[in-house]
């Protein structure tokens, strides 16, 4: 059972209209004052849009395709999560072959690591610590179509005991379209980043493109990171970052997280990894209503999503 203190930390509270974890809001000034440096790379996603996948791709590129190095720790600890302030986010420190568990906030964890940093965030662009934009850091944004993202978020809230209960699918439909979920509205998040993509160094990728042609998209990430890897290494990265491999890999499938936090018997963390699973969830009526709301909320943007492969 969760303690009262932990429950309080789990509640969502708003910053400038965006629901965030209470612990993030409590540490807001420390997060906002984070000093990014010009060579840093920030991995940016709306929740459930392929964060873990792009993290593994980035890490494989960074480690030149060395699988063993990528398995040095669980993936959530490779790239400090800048707005994360909820204890515990344990980190494993290996000293003299002994393992130590240490607890850090995302910003503290980053500062303890050598720079340049590769960091991650779910923050909408307007809530980023200002130093990222002031220093013209590189941003790697991955977006997934709204319907599949909503399905994934729904199942994640069912299995993640740290998040609000999503209720029924019908109830969640309303919650999601109204942006009453952690990190706010999908529509505003995606639009916000998309509209800034030519003003900053933003590589804007789509989950659906990575699924369709992983090698081509991985190559884009590699170039963006200023790396050059041999064709055979790229092929290896494509294989190692496939859904099947990552589902089996204990460093990426969250199997090390206790059941009291992520209950994978309700829904696995690596659930389906496909494009178009929304068709198994939305009724025709819901889909039409969703499309209408989508048109209103996304009016005027040039962004185009692929809804099935
Ligand atoms: P589903 O719930 O639709 O299966 P995040 O990491 O941002 O939480 O995103 C989670 C979603 O990405 C999940 O979607 C998960 O299955 C999917 N995913 C993770 N790794 C993947 C991979 N290698 N290939 C395809 N999808 C992947």
pLDDT in tens, 19-34: 999 889 999 999 999 9
pLDDT interval class at 86 (50, 70, 90): confident
Backbone angles phi, psi at 216, to 5 degrees: -60, -45
Nearest CA, atom 10, ligand 1: 48
**Could you report the per-residue pLDDT of 149-162, keeping only the tens digit for each?**
999 999 999 999 88
Residue 122 catalytic?
A: yes
The answer on pLDDT for 279 being more than 90 is yes
Higher-confidence residue: 161 or 2?
161
Asked if 60 and 239 count as a contact pair (C-beta separation under 8 A), the reply is no
Q: For the residues 227-244, what does the mean pLDDT come to?
A: 98
Q: Which of 8-22, 40-54, 160-174 has the highest mean pLDDT?
A: 40-54
Backbone angles phi, psi at 21, to 5 degrees: -60, 140
Backbone angles phi, psi at 42, to 5 degrees: -115, 125
Distances (CA, A) of 127 to 9, 82, 130, 295: 20, 12, 8, 25
Distances (CA, A) of 100 to 73, 142, 242: 12, 33, 31
What pLDDT is stored for residue 26 in this prediction?
92
**Which of helix, strand or coil describes residue 130?**
coil
The atom of ligand 1 lying closest to the CA of 245 is 23
Tell which residue, 195, 225, 176, has the closest CA to residue 43.
225
How far is it, in rounded angstroms, from Cα 60 to Cα 302? 32
Its pTM stands at 0.94
The answer on pLDDT for 89 being more than 90 is no
Average pLDDT, the chain: 92
The atom of ligand 1 lying closest to the CA of 53 is 20
Asked if 26 and 187 count as a contact pair (C-beta separation under 8 A), the reply is no
What pLDDT is stored for residue 97 in this prediction?
60
- The Å distance, Cα 270 to ligand 1 centre, comes to 6
Q: Mapped to the 3 state alphabet, what secondary structure does 251-271 carry?
A: CCCCCCCCCCCECCCCCCCCC
Tell which residue, 268, 251, 272, has the closest CA to residue 259.
268
**Which of helix, strand or coil describes residue 172?**
helix
- The Å distance, Cα 96 to ligand 1 centre, comes to 35
Helix axes 169-177, 284-297, angle to 10 degrees: 10
The answer on pLDDT for 271 being more than 70 is yes
Question: Residue 82: how many CB atoms within 10 A of its CB?
Answer: 25
Tell which residue, 53, 269, 255, has the closest CA to residue 159.
269
Pocket of ligand 1 (CB under 6 A): 45, 47-53, 148, 152, 155, 241-243, 246, 270-273, 277
pLDDT interval class at 99 (50, 70, 90): low
How far is it, in rounded angstroms, from Cα 142 to Cα 224? 14
**Could you report the per-residue pLDDT of 196-217, keeping only the tens digit for each?**
999 999 999 999 999 999 999 9
What pLDDT is stored for residue 218 in this prediction?
98
């Amino acid at each position: 059972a969760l303690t009262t203190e932990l429950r309080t930390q789990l509640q969502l509270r708003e910053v400038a209209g965006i629901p965030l974890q209470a612990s993030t809001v409590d540490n807001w000034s420390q997060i906002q004052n984070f000093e990014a440096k010009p060579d840093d790379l920030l991995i940016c996603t709306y929740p459930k849009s392929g964060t873990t996948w792009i993290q593994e791709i980035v890490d494989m590129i960074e480690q030149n395709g060395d699988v063993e190095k990528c398995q040095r720790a669980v993936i959530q600890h490779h790239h400090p999560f800048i707005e994360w302030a909820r204890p515990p986010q344990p980190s494993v420190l290996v000293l003299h072959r002994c393992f130590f568990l240490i607890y850090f906030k995302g910003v503290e964890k980053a500062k303890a690591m050598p720079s340049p940093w590769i960091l991650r965030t779910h923050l909408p662009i307007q809530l980023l610590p200002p130093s990222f934009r002031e220093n013209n850091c590189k941003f790697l944004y991955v977006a997934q179509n709204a319907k599949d993202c909503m399905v994934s978020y729904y199942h994640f809230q069912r299995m993640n005991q740290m998040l609000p209960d999503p209720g029924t699918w019908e109830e969640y439909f309303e919650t999601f379209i109204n942006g009453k979920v952690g990190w706010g509205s999908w529509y505003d998040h995606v639009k916000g980043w998309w509209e800034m993509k030519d003003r900053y160094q933003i590589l804007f990728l789509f989950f659906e493109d990575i699924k369709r042609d992983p090698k081509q998209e991985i190559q884009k990430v590699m170039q963006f990171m200023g790396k050059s890897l041999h064709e055979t290494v790229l092929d290896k990265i494509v294989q190692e970052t496939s859904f099947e491999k990552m589902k089996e890999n204990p460093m990426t499938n969250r199997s090390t997280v206790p059941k009291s936090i992520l209950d994978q018997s309700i829904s696995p963390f690596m659930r389906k990894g496909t494009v178009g699973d929304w068709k198994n969830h939305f009724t025709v009526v819901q889909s039409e209503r969703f499309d209408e709301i989508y048109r209103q909320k996304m009016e005027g943007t040039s962004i185009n999503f692929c809804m099935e492969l």
